[in-house]
Amino acid sequence: MRHRYVYATFPRAYSKSFLSMMALMIRCVLFPGADLFVTTGGKEQAASITVAKIEEICRLIPALNNEINWERGKTKKSRDDVNYVFKNGSRISILAAKESSRGQRRTGGIM
């Protein structure tokens, strides 16, 4: 996370989604107010990947689970919309990789 951009090529079953989601979570913890996102071809796919990996990481590392604001109305999960809000004001949301989502501002994310 020292470099602004990183390019890597990994084969199937290399835990790409897991590592990417963990990097986003750590970045949210270390940089208060960060507005990060996950994008894929469709919102449903992005939502399912995000929820599955964040829940897995929270089970494995309870300290990261404690950083997420689980209060009612803060963190939201549904079939096509996900918004994880951290206690320091950072958030991870999903964004569809479509022309209609251009102009929606975020500070960083993964594709």
C-beta neighbour count of 84 within 10 angstroms: 26
**0.85 exceeded by pTM:** no
Per-residue tens of pLDDT for the chain, all 111 residues: 678 787 878 888 888 889 989 999 999 999 999 999 988 888 888 899 999 999 999 999 999 999 999 998 899 988 888 999 999 999 999 987 765 555 455 555 555
